[in-house]
Amino acid sequence: MTTFKALVATKGETAPNLAFTDFAESDLMEGDVTVRVTHSTVNYKDGLAITGKAPVVRRWPMIPGIDFAGRVEASDHPGFKPGDLVVLNGWGTGETHLGAYAQKSRVKGDWLVPLPAGLTPAEAMAIGTAGYTAMLCVLALEKHGLKPADGPVVVTGAAGGVGSVAIALLAKAGWHVIASTGRAEEADYLKGLGAAEIIDRNELSQPGRPLGKERWVAGVDAVGSHTLANLLAMTKYGGAVAACGLAQGMDLPMTVAPFILRGVALLGVDSVMCPKPRRLEAWQRLATDLDREKLAVMTTTIPLDAVIETGKAIVEGKVKGRVVVEIG
């Protein structure tokens, strides 16, 4: 029997039971491509799955991990052959389909994106779902017609994964980036990524007025709740905020005032079921636009054995930037 190393989660009373085990290849789920996973990452959602703080896992037992990069080992899919380097984000991986924290994964070839030229598998996972989502947010703002000459852009959850990549991408594109963070000690880090101004997240996280002073024309929000409400209330006439996250909360306590009095738009961003053409566009743009030195500055590398403690740390807001998991 062929086995490989995997982190397996079984249903527990309050949190999943987690154990590194030798997993039988014959127990992998249905799919037309088998991938030797070389790298994964720890996203906020992985932290939620590992701690059980939100019902991310919907099939037991589960191998957690929502994204990976690796090399195709076997394929019945016309788009992929053994040896191809690939990236996978979402599609229920680590939620309903056995996921990334393992040396092997079997998935639908339609879920895979070829690793873009110029990116290594490690860099692809330094970007990970957080960075790919940041790119989707930037694309959403661009498709809304916004450009740097229109005014500043605000990025919330700035020192986190989505926030760090969004700052680097927006600064490179010429935006004046206002970074909102609860970690004042990370000001130099954020300026290094390209932030022009740093604001304390407490300015945005309390209940606010229906409309405020117009401070920015665009926003990338990883936080939700009052923060997103205040972002919209302070967005200039005709501007837009791309919303992808809920680090503060899932609620959105606001009025319609920014929409009906300032024509502000709220652009929803989902990475999990995002159609393939948009994924390919996002990964292509990441390969060409993201400064590799900045990516290296925001990245920490850990072995697979460290994903449990890192998953706990990310939901406590203690992880800076991005984490690459070397699967080994």
Is the distance from CB of 32 to CB of 76 less than 8 angstroms?
yes
Residue 314 in contact with ligand NDP, rule: CB under 6 A: yes
- Facing residues of 224 across strands? 249
Residues within window 57-76 making contact with ligand NDP, judged by CB under 6 A: none
Tokens read off for 232: 């919209």
Residue 304 in contact with ligand NDP, rule: CB under 6 A: no
226, exposed or middle or buried, with CB in 10 Å at 0-12, 13-18, 19+?
A: buried
CB of 22 to ligand NDP, least distance (A): 30
Tokens read off for 116: 């873009």
Residue 158 in contact with ligand NDP, rule: CB under 6 A: yes
Rounded to an integer, what distance in angstroms lies between the CA atom of residue 166 and that of residue 169? 5
Residue 133 in contact with ligand NDP, rule: CB under 6 A: yes
Residues within window 199-258 making contact with ligand NDP, judged by CB under 6 A: 201, 205, 222-223, 227, 244-248
Give the per-residue contact string, 1-40, with ligand NDP (x = CB under 6 A; - = no): ----------------------------------------
Residue 271 in contact with ligand NDP, rule: CB under 6 A: yes
Q: Which amino acid is at 168?
A: A
* List 71, 108, 183, 278, residue binding ligand NDP (CB under 6 A): 183
Taking the C-alpha atoms of 19, 22, 24 and 28 in order, what is their torsion angle to the nearest 10 degrees?
A: 40
CB of 311 to ligand NDP, least distance (A): 11
Sign of CA dihedral 123, 124, 126, 131: positive
CB of 308 to ligand NDP, least distance (A): 16
CB of 237 to ligand NDP, least distance (A): 26
The DSSP code for 115 is P
Q: Which amino acid is at 153?
A: V
Is the distance from CB of 202 to CB of 230 less than 8 angstroms?
no
Residue 130 in contact with ligand NDP, rule: CB under 6 A: yes
Binding site for ligand NDP (CB under 6 A): 43-45, 129-130, 133, 157-163, 181-183, 201, 205, 222-223, 227, 244-248, 269-272, 314, 317, 319
